[in-house]
Structure 1
Amino acid sequence: MRDPKFAPRPGLRRRSLLAPIAPIALLGLTPAWAKQAAAPVGLQALLTDVVKHHAELVQASYADSLALAQALSQRIEALVSAPSASTLAAAREAWTRARQTYGQTEAYRFYGGPIDAEDGPEARINAWPLDEAYIDSVAERPGSGFINNPAISLDKASLAAMNERHGEENIATGWHAIEFLLWGQDERDDGPGQRPPEDFIDGKAPNAARRRQALTVMMALLLDDLNSVLAAWAPGANNYRAAFERGGLESVRKIIVGVGTLSRGELAGERIEVALASRQQEDEHSCFSDTTHHDVVANALGLLNVWQGRYQRVDGSVLQGPGLLHLVERVDAKLAQRIDRQMQQSLRLAQAIPAPFDQQIRASNKAGRARLKALADSLSAQARDLARAAQGLGLQHLQKG
């Protein structure tokens, strides 16, 4: 069962084989010490430092994600200009690298921040799973998708408007739409999709020019959306970050909601337990490229980043400062140590998942299923302890927003 304190974002998936959890009323409560004349020595100052350093981590992570997305854009431009096996392979490699950095940023979601507020771009950036036939030709439906419908304009406004139109599976933008165009359907048990470069060459495949155009526009939209999120976290501006840094305990609540929800409701629940229950290839996150194992590791690492206040940038430099760990250990050192060990264990378990993920969920793969179950259990345990840590800080109830 999912932990109701950290239930998944409503409507994330088109279905769930797990029992739904009704949302509970959650409020950020004022801790008892805040009503005193003075907080315990150093705690208020530390709380402020944790919030400010967290904002630095977020900004650095999104800056790296944008930089790698820009590198992907260059590879896609090369593919579109001269489709070949080599330019397609280079684009796929750039997509995979960019996703591993973006995956760490998902620890900054789930509390109504810039990326997933009501008007936020998360659904355009990372929505899944998608209906491949909504985008392009699929097996037994060679003329399907908006790419094969010349009446549909392929520009930013059009694709943005079509994203999730008439259904959550109707994805027209973001990482996974781009992934599908680069790899095609994954119809193999022993590897990813095998879209040929000829699909992008005029005269070799129907609507190749429109396929190139769609890929170009999807990439441009992704860059726009990542830029908008990064701007919201830019230092020295009148933006979301400025308000977040002034938010005190409320901002700590948001941080805990983000990591708790990713731990339990999203990663353990929607991305692992649903796949274990369904045993369906389409229930893995990055199913076309068979890189879901990277997604899981990136998410687990992102959680540890936030907890420890540490992030290693793509250039190898390390951003280190006070994280939730340092705040929680002031009120309950043993609990802080337990959460730290659990998060490190979750990361090790994630790193031990063999590729491809879809082979690990098969009914016949008992060892693979046991590994995934152990990871889901570890993630759930750390989420429960995060809720206890929140209570120790006076935050008795947790929810998005």
Structure 2
Amino acid sequence: MSPLIQPLRYFSVRILALFVALFASYSANSFANNTAPKPEAVVSHYADLAFAIYSDALSSAEALQVAIERLLAAPNEAHLQAAKAAWREARIPYQQSEVFRFGNPVVDDWEGKMNSWPLDEGLIDYVAPGYIHALGNIGAQLNIIANPKLQLGGTTIDASNITPDLLRDLHELAGSEANVATGYHAIEFLLWGQDLNGHQPGAGERPWTDYAQGDNCTHGHCQRRGDYLRAATELLLEDLKYMVAEWSPEANDNYRATLLSLPTDKALARILFGMGSLSLGELGGERIKVALEANSTEDEHDCFSDNTHWSHYYNGVGIQNIYLGRYTSLAGKQLSGPAIGDLVAAQNKDVDAATRQALEDTVRSLTALTKLAEREIDPMPFDRLIAEGNDTGAQLLSQILDNLVVQTRQLESAAAAIDINPNATL
């Protein structure tokens, strides 16, 4: 098998200042000539991209926290919809950041707290009768929100106060990856609720009254539900602050410093391994092929919100970003600099051109996925596309898979052109 187919406000203000400085630094430093940049410059710019993208993920999560606090302070439909919109916005930079995951141990070890899926939502809150959960998962119906004391075999867990520490302790309870207590998808479930529509139109339909007080409260335990949502959001920010700090150019004892101290061939291998692993193993395999072949809405990535098409799209954009050395911030600012593609072009222009075309073909097919999901008449989000007998969905998703295969092979060719073994990541 080929190697690639495998709430501190001061803190945020300083991050923003560094972020703006990076954009200003590179805006006047385009690669107009055809000379290859130094490999060290490519690795350094890769770290700058990570810092910029995680900084955007943090700032958008802070906006999500504001929207959630507004919902909890004054529950109503408008505030619920605003919180949902903020969640969708927060997914844009985060999904682009996943290209850093597989090649960088600090990200891969941390990612499970942020983006784990699928989850057994009965761990968190009420679910419909007969809901499907992981076989043998003893936490699948604990319902933390409804139960101040959780009975787990012969052990009683005090859950009377739902705090960030409690949720961190309960995450992946009993060693089950389905017991997702934290991260984007736990928050997604708390905003949308279960999507009970199967392959039919519609996302989750949690009512705003699930956060109301007094007689307006639906499904009980509204105060605890709000406590859970608040604690999960606080954890999200805490974890994102950690990752921003790991990529900060101001520190000399973080992961960025470690990466820049590696021999350049090892650092470039990490970059290429991360791109290829997300391209085919994760996006193509786990997130598209598994769901398509099983016609399984349970294997949809953003299954409660029907936001999956955008998550897949921004994964594709994230891979392309790294090859081209560019990123467009949520504010619309352009960051660009020396990239893997520049190194490849200097060694083999044909391989570089074919790789750029493969990346563009993938993004184009993922764009078609978003257009199909967002069209006004008969929209087809991911859970409808994977339905048995949906020929339109099967054709489009198969095309995306084909493009991801070609893209990954081209990334292998690009690695070979600059004499890098993507498997040599240590």
Among residues 191, 195, 198, which one is paired with 2:206 in the alignment? Answer: 195
Paired residues of 1:138 and 1:144 also in contact (CA < 8 A): no
Q: Does 1:378 align with 2:412?
A: no
Match runs of 1:226-305 below 5 Å: 226-238=240-252, 239-247=254-262, 248-305=264-321
Paired residues of 2:168 and 2:182 also in contact (CA < 8 A): yes
Q: How far apart, CA to CA, are the structure 2 residues paired with 1:173 and 1:400?
A: 29
Q: How far apart, CA to CA, are the structure 2 residues paired with 1:375 and 1:63?
A: 29
TM-score, normalised to structure 1, is 0.87
For residue 335 of structure 2, give the secondary structure of its aligned residue in structure 1.
strand
Match runs of 1:250-399 below 5 Å: 250-353=266-369, 354-355=372-373, 356-396=381-421, 398=423
Shift of 1:246: 2.9
Paired residues of 1:296 and 1:350 also in contact (CA < 8 A): yes
User: 5+ residue gaps in structure 2?
Assistant: 7-33, 132-140, 150-158, 374-380
Matched AA of 2:92: Q
Paired residues of 1:110 and 1:400 also in contact (CA < 8 A): no
Q: How far apart, CA to CA, are the structure 2 residues paired with 1:50 and 1:67?
A: 26
Q: Deviations over 1:209-251 (max 9, x none)?
A: 1100000000000000000000000013111112222322211
Q: How far apart, CA to CA, are the structure 1 residues paired with 2:420 and 2:265?
A: 9
Identity of aligned residues (%): 38
For residue 107 of structure 2, give the secondary structure of its aligned residue in structure 1.
coil
Matched AA of 1:202: Q
User: 5+ residue gaps in structure 1?
Assistant: 9-40
For residue 6 of structure 1, give the secondary structure of its aligned residue in structure 2.
coil
Q: How far apart, CA to CA, are the structure 1 residues paired with 2:193 and 2:164?
A: 22
Q: How far apart, CA to CA, are the structure 1 residues paired with 2:404 and 2:234?
A: 35
Paired residues of 1:233 and 1:241 also in contact (CA < 8 A): yes
Runs of 4+ aligned structure 1 residues displaced above 3 Å come to 141-144
Matched AA of 1:181: L
Paired residues of 1:111 and 1:399 also in contact (CA < 8 A): no
Which residue is equivalent to 2:113?
Answer: 124
Paired residues of 1:5 and 1:399 also in contact (CA < 8 A): no
Among residues 87, 90, 98, which one is paired with 1:95 in the alignment? Answer: 87
Q: Does 1:211 align with 2:222?
A: no
Shift of 1:393: 2.5
Q: How far apart, CA to CA, are the structure 1 residues paired with 2:420 and 2:271?
A: 12
Shift of 1:144: 5.0
Paired residues of 1:137 and 1:144 also in contact (CA < 8 A): no
Match runs of 1:128-143 below 5 Å: 128-140=117-129
Among residues 131, 153, 158, which one is paired with 2:166 in the alignment? Answer: 158
Would the alpha carbon gap of residues 187 and 4 (structure 1) be closer, same or farther in structure 2, given more than 3 Å must change? farther
Paired residues of 1:106 and 1:262 also in contact (CA < 8 A): yes
Among residues 46, 53, 66, which one is paired with 1:61 in the alignment? Answer: 53
Which residue is equivalent to 1:85?
Answer: 77
Q: Deviations over 1:303-359 (max 9, x none)?
A: 110010010111111001111111111222111110100101100100101221111
Shift of 1:156: 1.4
Compare 305-314 and 380-389 and name the one that shifted more. 380-389
Shift of 1:182: 0.1
Kindly tell me the number of residue pairs found equivalent between the two proteins: 363
Q: Deviations over 1:37-68 (max 9, x none)?
A: xxxx976x521111111111111111111000
Shift of 1:377: 1.2
Among residues 182, 185, 198, which one is paired with 1:173 in the alignment? Answer: 182
Q: How far apart, CA to CA, are the structure 2 residues paired with 1:46 and 1:291?
A: 39
Q: How far apart, CA to CA, are the structure 2 residues paired with 1:324 and 1:384?
A: 15
Shift of 1:397: 5.1
Compare 198-207 and 70-79 and name the one that shifted more. 198-207
Which residue is equivalent to 1:14?
Answer: none
Match runs of 1:67-78 below 5 Å: 67-78=59-70
Matched AA of 1:179: E
Matched AA of 1:176: H
Q: How far apart, CA to CA, are the structure 2 residues paired with 1:148 and 1:171?
A: 17
For residue 327 of structure 2, give the secondary structure of its aligned residue in structure 1.
strand
Shift of 1:191: 1.2
For residue 257 of structure 1, give the secondary structure of its aligned residue in structure 2.
helix
Paired residues of 1:183 and 1:289 also in contact (CA < 8 A): yes
Matched AA of 2:303: C
